[in-house]
């Protein structure tokens, strides 16, 4: 492999000791590793304790697992001997989201992806948003959120190991990206000052540690790398996503939109990076609608409405009867409702009063109906959705304008998060959620935070690039922006009261 | 202080965060430490976890304990934040001897010595010599010796803390010197290959670790430094002693004699160092005699024999009735027995048959007699002692001669160990145990291993000097030397059959 993963296996063959060469076992191994280009390998005591026996069992040939420890103080690389006697080595890239924890497992000898696995963040039972969880930590139970998260992650790791029939002891490296609060919870750091002015986290810089220090149930010497943050509002997940997108290497300004529980927008290029965040997310993840659900089996992800009979034809993930609608399905649905005349530009259901069904005491549109199942969207849900799309667009508009640019100046638009995978761009443009610029400028990324974490896992040399991205970022507080409100008013219509704004 | 101890306390005053400076707590502290000359301080997670609260409790002023981590790879120094919120910091220098464990405690803010404390090595119940203990480790119970030693050291540390009424959590640094086998036991390393050809230890180089990794009951982040060895037969105790003696900086050859359970002899200067070892020790520590004991309260340490009535006048440590005789007392006693005519030059008790008392079925000399207590030395004990002194001298002679030198070429003779403290040099020369060279060339050192460990504790910069000493050492196998036997024959007489040999 060209790149050095955060940990990797390697085979070492030593000269046998003799009357003329009585060099001790550890020092002999150190010498050979140095000749192989790995000078001054740090060897934990628990590895040294089993070295003598392992060397003799293998007649002075040995499989070792080396951890790469990028030195903070120099460009030089440090090395750590994670384990001996193991020929297979696995690594995990973990994205700790507010709602879900996603994990990708790799064989570090081949860089082959073994699996992608996701679980719900178990903290969700204490609150859907991170601030509720921070408040919980401020009222006495300071370590509860960390403990719950640690349990969840360890349970996830056990699950993966069972699934793939490997020993947790073979996991030798982990990279972790998440928002600032979640990575603080992950490390058991104090989050109580984050919501208090001047909003200072416990840690900004990247964190290098071991599984033992953090309490991860895997090889206790495993190297753990946690992405840096750029303040309380710009987490390692954004930085990891920027790394994966390549935005920080672009010559011309690009937009990077990550829609998760929150919407995070990054604008920049290789010279500067600006990040802003807003709370438009839940709506776009399907959270505004009673029928909203994750993009998983049973979810409607595509909708066509017949403009004659106003009936919807839906496509369902995995086929069969639908159980809900995912974020991209919802965008499609509202776009179709508008273009087929089911709703007007303000999102009001139109047509003869008697033709519009009522559900939950208000007007509604039936998305799907069978003998067993009915899925509908109420008038207020439609209005909520439009508020979300309006917030999203206004945010993008004001954000881009605030640095003296227009949408026309944007070279590429990376779209990450749940939305990034299946979104119908034309629909998003139709309703004025996304800027109306050439479609080939849009690049869907999926879970960019997880993929950025995987990049570092497989190429430890990228940690310095991550540091540079973090240093380049400036955070822009958008809630204080007066223009946001005026743009938002017009964006509450489909596509907008001033359609020219959509083009920048 | 001019020198940086292995750990030291220091006070840090930070700028308070503000809307214009939202740097995170850890990164803020790192920045201030960097401005104070400590770049890239490594901060363990358990310290980071309590940093935010400590900073605010002290209004952004903080006492910290910094550990010095000499970097193996460069001349540059590394730093580690051992703890926060502690203004007092203690350090221990420990000498792990085969028979006794000695410890010196220092206040690391002032370099003041707080106490010297010694306990018996608890491994002694499994065997008085290290090889017996290694054999025990080879027959199944591989960790028993390590566990017993760890228990003993932790008990000693608890004892010191109680005695001085300090918390073990305030101990932030430890330096450890001992022979190769004992330091292997201390670190829990495999000793089983040491007695097997080609006699390879698990570790040669110095060992940097933490209390947590080793299992010491003190501040878990405390820095632990273990001296390197120069092979299975030349331990860190010898290297530490050489450091303390200053031999490795001398221009002209010096001898360094350390008499503990074994006799270790070092010959060298700043350009070269040769070490040899023999098993003459126990005799000289008072081990050959039934009345032999440590140099502690109740031990006879000085003897005069009236050449008229052949009666001994003794001086006793602490006064009162004697309970035994220490090594230096024994040397004095035999010297006086010879010069007063109690024994002849072969060590045989002489004089009229009826005047010589018998004890334990053989001839004996009464050293002390009262109504309650009688202390005597039997004929065979005298002969055993002479064998020991002969072995010691022969060893020195052959050792010095083997590099083409004579005693006349020796600039200084450092004498360390139990013998070094109270030995009457004239007596030792009288009986032909020490070379007959000007007395002002002899320099008593006491426990040089402990004092060398204390030097490094108080000046971490010395670790590179220690490494250089270790690298310079060559070990000379003496048991294979044919000349040793022929010199030994003559040395079995007092002072020697060829007195000229005593002068070199």
pLDDT at residue A279 tops 70: no
pLDDT at residue B285 tops 80: no
**Position A488 confidence tier, pLDDT thresholds 50, 70, 90:** confident
Q: Does B203 touch chain A (CB under 8 A)?
A: yes
Give the C-alpha separation, A241 to A445, whole Å: 9
Three-state SS sequence of B292-348:
ECCCCCCEEEEEEECCCCCCEEEEECCCCCCCEECHHHHHHHHHHHHHCCCECCCCC
Give the C-alpha separation, B284 to A296, whole Å: 83
DSSP sequence for A47-59: HHHHHHHHHHHTT
pLDDT at residue A281 tops 50: no
Q: Does A197 touch chain B (CB under 8 A)?
A: yes
How many residue pairs from chains A and B have C-beta atoms closer than 8 A? 130
pLDDT of residue A461: 92
**Burial degree of B338 (CB within 10 A; 0-12, 13-18, 19+):** buried
pLDDT at residue A1 tops 60: no
In a 3-state reduction of DSSP, which class is residue B94? strand
Residues of chain A contacting residue B51, judged by C-beta atoms under 8 Å apart = 190, 202
- Find the angle CA(A116)-CA(A121)-CA(A123) to the nearest 5 degrees: 165
Give the C-alpha separation, A99 to A266, whole Å: 21
Q: Report strand pairing: B273-278 vs B473-475.
A: parallel
- Alpha carbon B116 to chain centroid distance? 13
| pLDDT tens for each residue of A135-171 | 998 887 879 999 999 999 999 999 999 999 999 999 9
This model of the complex carries an ipTM of: 0.90
Give the C-alpha separation, B202 to B199, whole Å: 10
Q: What percent of chain A has pLDDT over 90?
A: 71
In a 3-state reduction of DSSP, which class is residue B68? strand
> Quick one: average pLDDT of B441-470?
95
pLDDT at residue A72 tops 60: no
Closest Cα to residue A98, out of A159, A155, A190, A181? A181
Give the C-alpha separation, A452 to A436, whole Å: 28
> Quick one: average pLDDT of B315-341?
92
pLDDT at residue A402 tops 80: yes
Residues of chain A contacting residue B56, judged by C-beta atoms under 8 Å apart = 193
Q: How far is CA B158 from CA B7, B165, B182, in A?
A: 20, 10, 21
For B:107-136, CB contacts with A below 8 A are none
Give the C-alpha separation, B143 to B55, whole Å: 43
Q: Report strand pairing: B263-268 vs B312-316.
A: unpaired
Best of A189, A205, A220, A480 to mutate (most B CBs within 10 Å, chain B) = A189
Q: What number of CA atoms fall less than 13 Å from residue A249's CA on the CB side?
A: 8
pTM of the model: 0.91
pLDDT of residue A470: 97
CB contact under 8 A, B188 and A51: no
Backbone angles phi, psi at A406, to 5 degrees: -125, 170
pLDDT at residue B238 tops 60: yes
Q: Does B27 touch chain A (CB under 8 A)?
A: yes
For B:225-264, CB contacts with A below 8 A are 229, 231-232
Nearest to B24 among A40, A197, A204 (CB): A204
Q: Does B143 touch chain A (CB under 8 A)?
A: no
Strand ranges (DSSP E) for B14-76? 41-42, 61-70
**Which residues 6+ apart lie within 8 Å of A436 measured at CB?**
A407, A429, A495, A499, A502, A503
pLDDT of residue A287: 60
> Quick one: average pLDDT of A76-101?
92
Give the C-alpha separation, A293 to B168, whole Å: 56
In a 3-state reduction of DSSP, which class is residue B470? helix
pLDDT of residue A182: 97
Choose the most confident range, by mean pLDDT, from A213-217, A319-323, A326-330.
A213-217
| pLDDT tens for each residue of A164-186 | 999 999 999 999 999 999 999 99
pLDDT of residue A327: 83
Q: How far is CA A478 from CA A276, A385, A393, B370, in A?
A: 7, 21, 13, 98
Best of B19, B23, B45 to mutate (most A CBs within 10 Å, chain A) = B45
Closest Cα to residue B68, out of B466, B458, B452? B458
Closest chain A C-alpha to B136 CA, distance in angstroms: 17
**Which residues 6+ apart lie within 8 Å of B361 measured at CB?**
none
Contact yes or no for B273/B229 (Cβ under 8 A) = no
Give the C-alpha separation, B313 to B302, whole Å: 8
Contact yes or no for B213/B163 (Cβ under 8 A) = no
**Which residues 6+ apart lie within 8 Å of B487 measured at CB?**
B393, B394, B397, B398, B501
Taking only Cα atoms into account, the Rg of chain A, rounded to an integer number of angstroms, comes to: 26
**Burial degree of A372 (CB within 10 A; 0-12, 13-18, 19+):** exposed
| pLDDT tens for each residue of B373-415 | 999 999 999 998 898 888 889 889 999 998 999 999 999 999 9
Contact yes or no for B456/B425 (Cβ under 8 A) = no
Taking only Cα atoms into account, the Rg of chain B, rounded to an integer number of angstroms, comes to: 26
CB contact under 8 A, B202 and A26: yes
pLDDT at residue A34 tops 50: yes
pLDDT of residue B3: 83
pLDDT of residue B482: 73
**Burial degree of B124 (CB within 10 A; 0-12, 13-18, 19+):** middle
- Rounded to the nearest integer, the mean pLDDT of chain A is 91
Q: What is the DSSP letter of B2?
A: -
Pairwise pLDDT comparison (B127 vs A103), residue with the higher score: A103
Q: Report strand pairing: B223-226 vs B171-178.
A: parallel
Q: What percent of chain A has pLDDT over 70?
A: 94
Give the C-alpha separation, A504 to A402, whole Å: 12
**Which residues 6+ apart lie within 8 Å of B410 measured at CB?**
B253, B254, B255, B267, B400, B435, B437, B441, B504
Q: Which long-range CB contacts under 8 A does B357-363 form with residues at least 24 apart?
A: none
Three-state SS sequence of B344-399:
CCCCCECCCHHHCCEECCEEEEEEEECCCCEEEEEHHHHHHHHHHHHHHHHHHHHH
Q: How far is CA B52 from CA A188, A194, B17, B56, B57, in A?
A: 12, 11, 12, 6, 9
**Which residues 6+ apart lie within 8 Å of A217 measured at CB?**
A154, A157, A158, A168, A211
- Rounded to the nearest integer, the mean pLDDT of chain B is 91
Residues of chain B contacting residue A202, judged by C-beta atoms under 8 Å apart = 24-26, 48, 51-52
Closest chain B C-alpha to A218 CA, distance in angstroms: 18
> Quick one: average pLDDT of A475-483?
72
Give the C-alpha separation, B118 to B435, whole Å: 31
Q: Does B17 touch chain A (CB under 8 A)?
A: yes
**Position A405 confidence tier, pLDDT thresholds 50, 70, 90:** very high
Q: Which helix (H) or strand (E) holds B445?
A: strand B442-446
Closest Cα to residue B208, out of B426, B487, B381, B466? B466
pLDDT at residue B281 tops 80: no
In a 3-state reduction of DSSP, which class is residue B156? helix
């Amino acid at each position: 492999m060209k790149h050095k993963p955060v940990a990797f296996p390697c085979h070492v063959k030593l000269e046998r000791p003799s009357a003329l060469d009585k060099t001790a076992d550890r020092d002999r191994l150190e010498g050979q590793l140095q000749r192989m280009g790995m000078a001054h390998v740090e060897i934990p005591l628990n590895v040294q304790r089993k070295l003598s026996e392992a060397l003799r069992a293998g007649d002075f040939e040995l499989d070792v697992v080396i951890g790469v420890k990028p030195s903070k103080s120099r460009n030089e690389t440090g090395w750590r001997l994670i384990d001996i006697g193991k020929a297979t080595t696995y690594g995990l890239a973990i994205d700790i989201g507010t709602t879900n924890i996603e994990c990708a497992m790799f064989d570090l000898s081949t860089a082959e992806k073994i699996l992608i696995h996701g679980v719900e963040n178990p903290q969700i039972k204490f609150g859907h948003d991170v601030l509720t969880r921070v408040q919980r930590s401020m009222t006495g139970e300071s370590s509860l959120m960390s403990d719950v998260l640690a349990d969840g992650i360890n349970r996830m790791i056990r699950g993966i190991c069972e699934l793939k029939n490997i020993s947790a002891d073979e996991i030798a490296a982990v990279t972790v990206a998440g928002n600032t609060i979640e990575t603080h919870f992950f490390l058991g750091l104090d989050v109580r000052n984050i919501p208090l002015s001047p909003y200072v986290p416990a840690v900004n810089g990247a964190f290098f540690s071991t599984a033992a220090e953090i309490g991860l149930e895997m090889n206790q010497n495993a190297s753990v790398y946690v992405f840096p943050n750029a303040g309380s509002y710009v987490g390692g997940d954004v930085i990891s996503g920027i790394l994966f997108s390549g935005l920080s290497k672009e010559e011309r300004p690009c937009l990077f939109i990550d829609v998760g529980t929150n919407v995070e927008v990054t604008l920049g290029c290789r010279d500067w990076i600006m990040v802003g965040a807003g709370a438009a997310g839940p709506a776009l993840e399907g959270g505004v609608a009673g029928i909203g659900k994750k993009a998983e089996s049973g979810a409607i992800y595509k909708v066509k409405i017949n403009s004659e009979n106003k009936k919807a034809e839906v496509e369902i993930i995995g086929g069969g009867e639908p159980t809900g609608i995912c974020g991209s399905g919802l965008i499609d649905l509202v776009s179709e409702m508008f273009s087929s005349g089911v709703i007007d530009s303000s999102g009001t259901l139109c047509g003869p009063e008697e033709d519009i069904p009522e559900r939950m005491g208000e007007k509604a549109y039936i998305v799907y109906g069978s003998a067993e199942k009915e899925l509908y969207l109420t008038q207020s849900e439609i209005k909520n959705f439009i508020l979300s799309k309006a917030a999203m667009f206004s945010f993008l508009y004001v954000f881009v304008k605030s640095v003296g640019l227009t949408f026309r100046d944007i070279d590429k638009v990376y779209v990450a998060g749940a939305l990034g995978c299946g979104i119908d761009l034309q629909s998003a443009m139709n309703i004025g959620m996304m800027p109306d610029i050439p479609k080939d400028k849009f690049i869907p990324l999926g879970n960019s935070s997880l993929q950025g974490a995987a990049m570092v896992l497989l190429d430890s040399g990228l940690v310095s690039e991550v540091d540079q991205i973090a240093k380049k970022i400036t955070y822009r507080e958008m809630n204080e922006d007066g223009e946001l409100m005026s743009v938002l008013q017009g964006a509450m219509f489909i596509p907008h009261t001033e359609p020219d704004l959509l083009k920048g």
